[in-house]
Structures are given as structure tokens and as C-alpha cells.
Structure 1
């Protein structure tokens, strides 16, 4: 009798033990969001003969299995493989440029067994692992370490930017900034890193050779704001950087921002694609070109506003069911939530994402080493940036970019990337200091 009672207990412990420290709330929330995302994709395609919702669930199921496998593998082993990971990441991005498949003006996919794979999505994981391994050995408390990280990131970032995939390159930037901050980089240095980009935006909106994207009064305002920004960055550089003699650090920082402004003008006139210019123009001039470049965002805002407090109900949103919002099953899936479940439904989805971010931060704080902590922060930076940009562009607070909503938007490569990232972070949680197991 005693043997019969003890056997089920031993067997249960045997099967559960490999995952005993896993954060199950963090694991279950993305699964729930993926299931809900499939339902919303079905709603956007209810009257069309497509099976994207079914593929969404299938890939999510594969992702769950991969995440469970990774959660029981020791994440520390990634340290000795980080240069191989970096090499494979860069090689895959080079392969895309040589033999990739083009669609919608960009060459981002590789055809594998009849399926289009997007290496730039998986490159996010490669960058996170590489930077975590580097910053684990040497923190970002010195400028030498910061420049080393930037130099190593520059290769995959540049390859993604040249596809062109501006949105994913911005995700790379968010990952780098988040991980540098967590690795004790001076916050002033991080502001100075992004300051030339801000200068480029401010000065390019006030350049007579470019297409006028703002009104005359706005041009004057942007011009004054640009000059104020340059002065402010000069002061910040003087206060935070070394080489203070004769104020060379402040002067060089101000000059770098002026150069950034000029490069912004050059990029606007010679580098940015027409569709990228149109997206920025529409963002800076709400209501501009509503039947062209501004159509997606305008229709999305109408759909979300039509949902009011409680929404129209599942499969009942007129904008969603009549396909007024283009690409709604991918980048604009949040607009379907807003229309069919209203303000309350949007809050519930955002609350679920906030819980995911909180659990990721908690794992970063309780990891047993810097490598595990940095892995969690890298994934957190990726999820937070994609969430803010995707939701922001559906309501008009960010320019339209090809950034999917994690675990909700349709995209097989993005879905697998998110679950692989989740599995790595769960491994960090699983191999923390062991607690007594009952």
C-alpha cells in the first residue's frame, strides 16, 4: 500500500523536476495572447478563404515546444557559442542579400522548403546572446566597452538596414540601449548615442530641398528646436564625457549633432525610400494623404474609436469584417481588438503585456549571474519597443512601421523568435538558486 501511494508522487516529481523553477505566469501569458491573437486573425479574415489563424496557432504550438526544451537547457552554455551565434547571424543576413526573396520593396526572406523565413527576426536573438556574453565579461562602465559593443552590433544592424528593414534595425537599437543601460553605462552616454538621430529628424523637417512635410510655422519651430537640441547635447557631452580640456567634449558633441542634422537631410533626399518618406510625412502631418500613405493609420484609428468602451463584440466589428483596415491580421491586429472589444479589451491586452514585462524584469533582477540578467533585459527591451511602436502606430502616436505585435500579429518567423526568446529567459529563471522542492 505504501509503495502504491509513493509511486505516483515520485513519478510526478520526475516529470516536473526539469522545469521546477520556471516562471509559469510568464510562460502562460504569451500562450494565452497567442490563442487570442489567432481568434482576432480569424475575425479579420472571417469572410476570406485563408487559414492564417490556423497557421498562427500551429507555429505558436511549435514555439511552445521549443521554449519548453530551451527552458530545461542550461543557458550558460550559450556563452561559449556566442561568436558562432554571431557569425551565423551575420551569414544569414548576408545570404538574404544574395539569394533572398523580395516582397513589398524589400529583400528580407529566404525560401526554405517552400516557407519564407525572415532571418532578421532571428538575428535579434543572435544580437542579444552576443551582447550578453560581451557585457557579462566587461561591463559598459567605460567608453571603450560601449564602443566595442557598438562596433560589433554595427555589422548585423547595417545588413538589416540595407535590406531595407528600418523597423527591425530600430529594434536592434532598442536592444543595444537597454542592455547597455543594464550593464552600467552612463545614461548621458546613451542619450548622446541617439542624439544625432534626433538632430537628423529635427533638421530634415526644416530643409527646403526636401518635400515640405510640415507647415511654415512648424518649420520655424523645428529649426529653433533643432538648435536648442544641439546646444543641450553640447552641454551634456561636456558634463558626461572625458576630455574636458578646453571644452572639446562639448564642442565635438555639438558638432556631431550638426553633422547628424546634415546627414538627416542627405538621407531624406537620397537614401530613404518613397514609402518611408510617406510614412514619416503622414506621422508629422496627421490627416495628410488619407487615401494614400495615411490610409492604413487613419482607418485603424477609426476602427479603434468605433469600439468605444466595450466594443462591438467578437466577429461583429464593421471595419474589421468589411476589411477597411489593410494588413489588419499582421501589423494592425490591435485595431481589431479595439473595435471588437473596445477600450476595456485594449486595457486587458496591455495589462497582460505589462505582466510579461514585469516578470521579465523580475527574472533579470534575480538571475544568478550577469549573463542571465542581460539575456532577460535584452528580451525585455525587444518586447517593450515592439509593443510601444505597434500600439503607437495603430493610434497615431508613432509612424507606421513593419513591427508586429508580439505573439498576436501573424508572422511565423516573429512568432518563433518570440518563443525562442521566452525559452531562453525561462532557462535563466529555471537555473536560478534552487529552492526546496516539495
Structure 2
């Protein structure tokens, strides 16, 4: 009699056992965000003959199944495949440059069976797996290891930058910095890594207290930029290992001066006009209110119109009358702000904070460095995309083509996020296992 009563329990444990250790809260929150995102996409398209909201939910369902499948697969097997993953990542990016389809001045998509696939999205996963495998064997406590990581990342990063896809290349940078920090890289080295970018910005933009000094026709020095380069020289002298010969200070200072001049050159000769417009209107959107600044101005108006509680679902006038361009993709957060107000925005941000904290918990409790680094790579990707996307909708960041994870419409981005979630769940699932009887 006892044996018969225990049979249903044993059968239930048999079917649930492969997912017994996964973080169900971490799985359910992105699924809920995807469902809510589809609802907001429907609101932006209520008066249009399109069905992006339906595709959003369908791809989210497929992504959820993929995530559950990956959660029951041992993530450790990815180590032996990391070079193949890296090769496939670069190959797909090369194929895009040769036979990809173009839209809005960029060549980022491959048409497969009538669907546009964006390999740069999946490349994020490939880079996370590759760097986790490298840093698992050899931490970033030495400069040789850091340079090795940078050299390996430079290939897919360069291919994406040439598409051109500046936004995704910035996501790559955030992934690398986050994983290097978690792998015991000196924080001073990480600051020195991004310091040339800061120099490029300081040299390219004329500040009220820092008018540029033109020495030659194409050579411009910004006093504020020179001050920053000097500070980086001191930081390099204090943190880099060859401080005895003061080479570190000279190299850090020179690198920042070179970065500043390259920034001026890139602004004048490399960046596309739409990229320069996006950066310019971030500082002063009213400079071009009907052109490059239109997205940002309308997004801020929509969020402000929501006030505390919002207009209600399907009732936001800015959203229903399509005043915000590309609202179902990059500016989906503005629809949340208008229809659910300040409280709705806080709840959405709270959900993302919980997702990030759960991923961080998985990284801290992983049984090995490889699993921990995988989780941190995914965490860095999500945090950066969240900050930039929300920041640009409220005017705190330049407008960039970075979607809000699980909420913005984008089939490749959605699948990438669920694949990343599945890998993190696999790390959680194969921690210290319980015994089943």
C-alpha cells in the first residue's frame, strides 16, 4: 500500500528532476517581462495593420523552451566547444558583410527563409562563452591575460563596428569589462582601457570652460582633455607593473592624447551622419527638434504625460497617435511611462533589478569559475542594455539602437536573451545537487 502511494511522487520527481535546481524566479521574471512587452507593443500598434506583438509573444515562447532545454544541459560542455563557437561567431559576421541585407545605412541582417536574422546579437553569446573559457583557465590578474582577451575580442568587435553597429560594439565593451573585473583584473587597468574613449569625447566636444587649442590644421588640443590625459598618466604609473622606468606614465598619457586626436578624426571622417546627429542631439535635442532630436523629445513628452499613475492601457495619446517613432523597439519604455506612469516605470525597473540580483547570486554560488564568468557576462550585457535604453528614453543617454531586454520587439535579440538566460539557469541547475530518492 505504501509503495502504491509513493509511485505518483516518484514519477513527478522523475519528470521535474532535470530542472529541480534552477532559479524559477529568475526564469519567470523575464517571461513576465516578455508578456508585458508584447502587451505594450500591441498598444503602440493598436491602430496599425501589423502583428509585431504576436510575433513577440511567439518568439518569447520559443525562447522559453530553448532556455528550459539549455538549463538541463551541462554548461561545462561549452568549454571544449568555445573555439568552434568563436569561429562560427566570426564567420557569421563575415557573411553579413558579404551577403547581408541593408537597412537604415547599416548591413546587419541575413535573410533566412524569409526572416531577417541579426548575427551580431548572437555574437554576444559567442563572446561570453569564449571569454569565460579563457578566463576560467587563466585569470586576468596579469597584463598578458588581459591583452589576450582584448586581442581575441577585437576580431568580432571590429567586424560589428564595420557594419556599422556602434551600439552593439558598446555592448561588447561592457561584457569584456565586466568579465575582466570579475576575473580579478586591476580596476585601474579597466579605467585605463576606457580612458582613450573619454579623451576622444573631451577632444571632440568644445566645452564652455575648455575651448580647443588648434596648433595645426588637423591637430587640436583640449585643455580638459590634456588634464584627463595627465591624470591617466599618473594612474598608469601607479597601477602598471613597469613603474620604475616611468614608461607606464608616458605610455598612458600618450595613449590618451592619441585617443583624443583619433576621436576628432573619427568625428570628422569616420562616423556616419546619423551617428553624429544622435550624439549631438543628446546634448541639445532642441537643436534639431524635427530631425535627429524628434525621437528624444517625443519620448520625454510621452513619459512626462504619464505623471504618477499613467493614462491606462491603450489610452496614452502619444502612444495611440504614434507620435514616438520606433516606439515598439527602442522606445518601448516611453509607452510604459505614458500608460502606467511613474509607478509603472518603477515596477518595471524593480523587475529588472530582481533579474540582475538573481543572476549575480548565481554567479556567486556557481561551482566553478567558468559558470561564474558566464553569469557575469550575461549580467554585464543586460545591465548595460537596460541603462542605455532607459537612459535614452528619458534623455540621460544618447539615442542608440539598443533594445530593452525581453520587452523591445526584435526576434534575434529576444532569442539571444533567452539563450543567455538558459545558460545562466544551467549554471544554477548544476550547482551542489540534492539527492533524490
TM-score, normalised via structure 1 length: 0.96
Q: Following the alignment from structure 2 to structure 1, what is the Cα–Cα distance between the partners of residues 142 and 19?
A: 38
- Structure 1 equivalent of residue 336 of structure 2: 337
Q: Following the alignment from structure 1 to structure 2, what is the Cα–Cα distance between the partners of residues 45 and 406?
A: 19
| CA deviation vs aligned residue, 1:185-239 (integer Å, no higher than 9, x gap) | 0000000000001000110113xxxxxxx6x557469933212211110110000
- Structure 2 equivalent of residue 190 of structure 1: 190
Does the alignment pair 1:303 with 2:302? yes
Does the alignment pair 1:175 with 2:179? no
- Give the drift of 1:341: 0.3
Moved more, 405-414 or 243-252: 243-252
TM-score, normalised via structure 2 length: 0.97
- Give the drift of 1:332: 0.1
- Structure 2 equivalent of residue 351 of structure 1: 350
- Structure 2 equivalent of residue 231 of structure 1: 230
Correspondence list, 1:150-161, <5 A: 150-161=150-161
- Structure 2 equivalent of residue 211 of structure 1: none
- Structure 2 equivalent of residue 209 of structure 1: none
Specify the SS of the correspondent of 2:278.
helix
- Give the drift of 1:244: 1.4
Specify the SS of the correspondent of 1:287.
helix
Does the alignment pair 1:119 with 2:119? yes
- Structure 2 equivalent of residue 10 of structure 1: 10
Q: Is the Cα contact below 8 Å between 1:205 and 1:219 reproduced in 2?
A: no
- Give the drift of 1:286: 3.6
Count of residue pairs brought into register by the alignment: 430
Q: Is the Cα contact below 8 Å between 2:210 and 2:223 reproduced in 1?
A: no
Q: Following the alignment from structure 1 to structure 2, what is the Cα–Cα distance between the partners of residues 436 and 350?
A: 37
Q: Is the Cα contact below 8 Å between 2:285 and 2:294 reproduced in 1?
A: no
Ranges in structure 2 where 5+ consecutive residues have no aligned partner: 214-220
Specify the SS of the correspondent of 1:116.
strand
Assess, with a 3 A threshold, how the Cα gap between structure 1 residues 226 and 92 changes in structure 2: closer, same or farther.
Answer: same
- Structure 2 equivalent of residue 434 of structure 1: 433
- Structure 1 equivalent of residue 422 of structure 2: 423
- Give the drift of 1:436: 4.5
Correspondence list, 1:179-218, <5 A: 179-206=179-206
Q: Is the Cα contact below 8 Å between 2:237 and 2:246 reproduced in 1?
A: yes
Q: Is the Cα contact below 8 Å between 1:20 and 1:430 reproduced in 2?
A: yes
- Structure 2 equivalent of residue 94 of structure 1: 94
Assess, with a 3 A threshold, how the Cα gap between structure 1 residues 219 and 47 changes in structure 2: closer, same or farther.
Answer: farther
- Structure 2 equivalent of residue 48 of structure 1: 48
| CA deviation vs aligned residue, 1:130-165 (integer Å, no higher than 9, x gap) | 000000000000000000000000000000000000
Q: Following the alignment from structure 1 to structure 2, what is the Cα–Cα distance between the partners of residues 180 and 246?
A: 27
Q: Following the alignment from structure 1 to structure 2, what is the Cα–Cα distance between the partners of residues 219 and 80?
A: 54
| CA deviation vs aligned residue, 1:157-179 (integer Å, no higher than 9, x gap) | 00000000000000000000000
Specify the SS of the correspondent of 1:107.
strand
Correspondence list, 1:272-283, <5 A: 272-283=271-282
Correspondence list, 1:235-314, <5 A: 235-314=234-313
Q: Following the alignment from structure 2 to structure 1, what is the Cα–Cα distance between the partners of residues 211 and 120?
A: 36
- Structure 2 equivalent of residue 64 of structure 1: 64
Q: Following the alignment from structure 1 to structure 2, what is the Cα–Cα distance between the partners of residues 103 and 75?
A: 36
- Give the drift of 1:254: 0.5
Specify the SS of the correspondent of 1:111.
strand
Correspondence list, 1:372-391, <5 A: 372-391=371-390
- Give the drift of 1:29: 0.1
Q: Is the Cα contact below 8 Å between 2:285 and 2:296 reproduced in 1?
A: no
- Structure 1 equivalent of residue 412 of structure 2: 413
Q: Following the alignment from structure 2 to structure 1, what is the Cα–Cα distance between the partners of residues 149 and 104?
A: 32
| CA deviation vs aligned residue, 1:114-138 (integer Å, no higher than 9, x gap) | 0000000000000000000000000
Q: Following the alignment from structure 1 to structure 2, what is the Cα–Cα distance between the partners of residues 217 and 293?
A: 26
Specify the SS of the correspondent of 2:116.
strand
- Structure 1 equivalent of residue 370 of structure 2: 371
| CA deviation vs aligned residue, 1:59-78 (integer Å, no higher than 9, x gap) | 00000000000000000000
Specify the SS of the correspondent of 1:69.
helix
Specify the SS of the correspondent of 1:109.
strand
Specify the SS of the correspondent of 2:222.
helix
Q: Following the alignment from structure 2 to structure 1, what is the Cα–Cα distance between the partners of residues 414 and 104?
A: 21
Q: Following the alignment from structure 2 to structure 1, what is the Cα–Cα distance between the partners of residues 27 and 247?
A: 50
Q: Following the alignment from structure 2 to structure 1, what is the Cα–Cα distance between the partners of residues 205 and 164?
A: 22
Q: Following the alignment from structure 2 to structure 1, what is the Cα–Cα distance between the partners of residues 129 and 145?
A: 16
Specify the SS of the correspondent of 1:402.
coil
Q: Is the Cα contact below 8 Å between 2:330 and 2:402 reproduced in 1?
A: yes
- Structure 2 equivalent of residue 322 of structure 1: 321
